[in-house]
Amino acid sequence: MSTEEQAGFPRPSDLELAGHPQAELHERAFSAAREHFGGQVFVRGVVEVSNYCRQNCVYCGMRRDNRALDRFRANPARIAEMIIECRPESITDLNIQAGEDPVAVREVVLPLVRVLRRETNLGISVCVGSLKHELYDALKAAGASIYILKFETADPATYSEVQAPGTLTERTDNLRYLNASGWFVSSGFIAGLPGQTLEQMLHNLRFATDLPLDGCSVSPFIPGDETPLSKARSAGVDLTLNSMAFLRLLKPDWVIPAVSALNLAEPGSGYRRGLRTGANLVTINLTPSELRDDYLLYKRDRYIMTEELILRAIEAEGLRPSQVGLAQHYLRRKPQLAVA
């Protein structure tokens, strides 16, 4: 019997569960994560190194048509020094994120990955968009091992309407290439894009579970400042959490992050509710404050997750930070992918 048959694939109305049945669903998802990961949560840092972007996704504040942003590329030596000298003790991994900016990949991300590989034992993930195969290969050779590339929505028509990068087929071809070339791959989709139906949300779940992934996120749609969707309605946090719970039940061994946008969808408690729904990865924002303001995914007013907030949330949910890093964890599961 496949995991899907054991868990039972949800019906559209299941995504709207509320009250007692919802609490029960979330408890089942939390238990599945606990059984699989022993109550341990991966703690990573994120640093955002460029907000130049050649894409024009209608939901994202970094889109190229947004002329109101001060565009920046970080100085790799400065970021490396900050990470090497003053990173929070609890992080085992670092995620390097940027707009889709191949120049920054060459001039900022690659040198940064090389220094960090040499000077630290951090696991390194990158979330830098759809690139040519040779750039993926160069990032891996430099020492990154986890690639995060969200498919955003599994509905091809919506994908093209929201002007997500390239086509959905190209995005999934990229995911398959990354998997086949030895990366650990995480993807993700946006819950509650304007006009999205429950059937489409279920299709996102099925699409994700059919891809060769090691992890997947569900992010609530947040109407981005300075975007064509700035007046649209935010996704409901419950739709997001219910989707996360089903994803956990369908894929008990996947790494599912509690994304920072949960705190915008439900200020103060969204993040903790993510952990209570079976998420097992949290992120501390390490972007220098003078760059952060112009790294605009959602709102200019961001909810910045500090080490203190993260550790408090983990403890409050009866969980604990994982001693084993995320990249290390993946490698234990697929030792054949160890770099010689």
Which residues of the shown chain bind ligand SAH in the complex (CB under 6 A)?
Answer: 59-60, 97, 99-100, 127-129, 149-150, 152, 165, 188, 190, 219, 221-222, 224, 261, 297-298
Cβ 195 to ligand SAH shortest distance, Å:
14
* 76 versus 99: smaller Cβ distance to ligand SAH: 99
Comparing CA positions, the residue from 5, 11, 4, 17 lying closest to residue 238 is 17
Cβ 240 to ligand SAH shortest distance, Å:
10
Pairing of strands 93-98, 215-220: unpaired
Cβ 261 to ligand SAH shortest distance, Å:
6
Rounded CA-CA distance 178/339 in Å is: 15
* 40 versus 66: smaller Cβ distance to ligand SAH: 66
Residue 204 in 3-state DSSP?
A: helix
* 149 versus 319: smaller Cβ distance to ligand SAH: 149
* 239 versus 314: smaller Cβ distance to ligand SAH: 239
Q: Does residue 153 contact residue 193 with C-beta atoms inside 8 Å?
A: yes
Rounded CA-CA distance 175/152 in Å is: 12
Angle at 181 between CA 102 and CA 219, to 5 degrees: 60
What is the identity of the amino acid at 277?
T
Cβ 251 to ligand SAH shortest distance, Å:
19
Cβ 259 to ligand SAH shortest distance, Å:
8
Cβ 167 to ligand SAH shortest distance, Å:
14
* 27 versus 161: smaller Cβ distance to ligand SAH: 161
Question: How far apart, in Å, do the first and last CA atoms of the chain sit?
Answer: 36
* 26 versus 150: smaller Cβ distance to ligand SAH: 150
Task: Classify burial at 301, counting beta carbons within 10 Å of its beta carbon; exposed 0-12, middle 13-18, buried 19 or more.
Answer: exposed
Cβ 110 to ligand SAH shortest distance, Å:
16
* 39 versus 102: smaller Cβ distance to ligand SAH: 102
Q: Does residue 286 contact residue 47 with C-beta atoms inside 8 Å?
A: yes
Rounded CA-CA distance 75/73 in Å is: 7
Cβ 20 to ligand SAH shortest distance, Å:
29
Cβ 85 to ligand SAH shortest distance, Å:
26
* 92 versus 186: smaller Cβ distance to ligand SAH: 186
Rounded CA-CA distance 78/258 in Å is: 28
Rounded CA-CA distance 282/310 in Å is: 7
* 304 versus 339: smaller Cβ distance to ligand SAH: 304
**Which residues have a Cβ under 8 Å from the Cβ of 251 and sit 6 or more positions away?**
3, 209, 216
Beta strands in the chain (DSSP E): 40-50, 93-98, 123-127, 146-148, 184-191, 215-220, 281-285, 320-321
